[in-house]
Amino acid sequence: MKIDVLTLFPDMFKGPFDESIMKIAKKKGLIEINLCDIRQWTFDKHRSADDKPFGGGPGMVMKVEPVDMGIKEIKNKANLAQCVEPKIILLTPQGEKFNQSVAVKISRLKHIVLICGHYEGVDERIRSFVDFEISIGDYVLTCGEIPAMVICDSIVRLLPGVLGDEESIKEESFENGLLEYPQYTRPSEYKGMKIPEILLCGDPKKIKKWRSEESLRRTKERRPDLL
């Protein structure tokens, strides 16, 4: 999978993209991530990627030209390499809310471009260049770089070969529409707290049944909206 990130702050990604699952996926050659500084497509001496909003108002608005040129360059490179044309995704509070099913859908794509919004927002005309818009939740962040990190981490771990145990993905929260069942490890007793006896019975069918029941119970208690 190839991921291009259009950002004003590429250095923000150095930590998250160089550790843990992202590092493993890159080392295995399962993903290619390019951090594209939007300012490389600006031409004034200040490398301005924003400007004051028409009609007045607070803040600054991300300019349309650099983003458009960045998208065109990425698409042209894909065409020259005879690769699948990338899907363009704008990260914005106004987009579709990101969840596990959206993560799965995106993970099946060959090439995506994530546009990180900033300032007071983006020039509305940028929306005409994108395939879909995504929001990671009903709250406001300073920039789109953090949502980009969240989305990348969520989709990369779904790619075949990234995780050591492929079965672990199937039993995680939200994969079947429910929260995950309680998990325990050694020691079997800690400060008087014992693990459920069923987990020591050695009967896979009974354990599976218990886990299914606990998953449903926990979802009813904590996230009834999922049912």
Tell me if 202 is assigned to a ligand binding site: no
Enumerate residues 6+ apart whose C-beta is below 8 A from 33: 2, 3, 4, 5, 17, 22, 26, 152
Q: Do 219 and 114 have their domain in common?
A: no
What is the CB neighbour count within 10 angstroms for residue 27? 9
Q: Residue 177, SS3?
A: coil
Q: Do 75 and 126 have their domain in common?
A: yes
Q: Give the model's pLDDT for residue 170.
A: 57
Instruction: Show which of 129, 156, 183 is a domain's final residue.
Output: 156
Q: Do 131 and 92 have their domain in common?
A: yes
Q: Do 70 and 178 have their domain in common?
A: no
For 89-134, give the DSSP string.
EEEEEEEEEP-HHHHHHHHT-SEEEEEE--TTEE-GGGGGG-SEEE
Give CA torsion, residues 126, 158, 176, 213, to 10 deg. Answer: -140
Tell me if 64 is assigned to a ligand binding site: no
Any domain includes 98: yes
Q: Do 10 and 93 have their domain in common?
A: yes
Tell me: the pLDDT tens digits for 35-78? 999 999 998 888 999 999 999 988 899 999 999 999 999 999 99
Structural tokens at position 185 = 């490890």
Q: Do 130 and 214 have their domain in common?
A: no
Tell me if 200 is assigned to a ligand binding site: no
The predicted model scores a pTM of: 0.87
Tell me if 117 is assigned to a ligand binding site: yes
Q: Find the mean pLDDT for residues 199-221.
A: 95
Tell me if 140 is assigned to a ligand binding site: yes
Burial of 11 (0-12, 13-18, 19+ CB in 10 A): exposed
User: Would the pLDDT of 174 be above 80?
Assistant: no
Enumerate residues 6+ apart whose C-beta is below 8 A from 192: none
Tell me if 138 is assigned to a ligand binding site: yes
Tell me if 137 is assigned to a ligand binding site: yes
Across the chain, which distance is largest between two alpha carbons, in Å?
A: 71
Q: What is the extent of the structural domain holding 212? A: 171-226
